[in-house]
Amino acid sequence: MAGMVDGKVVVVTGAGGGIGRDIALALAAEGAKVVVNDIGTSTTGEGIDAGPAQRVADEIKAAGGNAAASTDSVAEARSANRIVQCALDHFGRIDGVVNNAGILRDRIFHRMSDDEWDSVIKVHLYGCYHVSRAAANHFKEQNSGAFVHMTSTSGLIGNFGQANYSAAKLGITALSKSIALDMLKFGVRSNCISPFAWSRMTGSIPTDTPEQQARVEKIKQMVPAKIAPLAVYLLSDSAAQVNAQVFAVRNNEIFLMSQPRPLRSVQRSEGWTPQQIADHAMPALKASFLGLERSGDVFNWDPV
């Protein structure tokens, strides 16, 4: 019996471990030929190690699948093009991209350095752009292709100490929507997944207080392999009608996330003065204000 993505060629960035590794393994198990991309850095972006990508590629081959390792960085256009070229060189085409590569450099906002900001934006947001852009013309020419981008509730909802990461992840959702709009006529789809899972990156979450320790124990229940089935599905022809959506996966739960839309409006035919806004507009709108929440406040029940 053919797998759901049988014969497709898919690039998975950040696939040397964690969520990316499980997605790569699941794709291969469903018949895809996989480019396992990972530069092999630490969770903060330091060091380079070719081992993780090659180990996952070897694991896929040992199980009877097809894979090639890539150790190029997603953060620069030239190296991102080499990632896509790796798929063409080894397998002759490219059908899908999973933009999963990422790093963390958490810092409370007023202490964040320019380097901490730039490095996270470059890997996450620029990385998604560079790899997607490298694949886009190939998708256009063959009139097919699918992108899956990893976003985060840190961007969709909010979190402490992650202004760089949150900005990048919310930017990725807008990038995904723009790709979906621009490339719809070429049969190209673009969707996002916001994953809840214990991984090498989330392993850096502080555990200095009992509350932090309890939070980490909950996250540990959510293994990376739970994310992979949705990614495989979104890259398959079975998802042909699924485009420009944002999903979240939390253990055994799959969520369709909302996207910004107008909630409420006020209008005056003669326009507004600042005082009229203070006296009338804001009191009328205030009932629909969104709270200053973070991810854990919204997803506040135990995972199932």
Residues with catalytic roles: 165
Cβ–Cβ under 8 Å, residues 38 and 14: yes
End-to-end CA distance of the chain: 31
Distance of alpha carbon 52 from alpha carbon 35, whole angstroms: 13
SS3 247: strand
Q: Is 16 exposed, middle or buried (0-12, 13-18, 19+ CB in 10 A)?
A: buried
Six token digits for residue 219: 């996250």
Handedness of CA 118, 161, 71, 248 (dihedral sign): negative
- Tokens 């629909």 identify what position? 288
Identity at 284, one-letter amino acid code? A
Neighbouring CB atoms inside 10 A of 229's CB total 16
* Alpha-helix residue ranges (DSSP H) falling in the chain: 18-29, 51-62, 77-91, 114-121, 127-142, 153-156, 163-183, 210-220, 228-235, 274-276, 282-286, 295-298
Nearest to 89 by CA among 173, 11, 153, 199: 11
Six token digits for residue 206: 């502080």
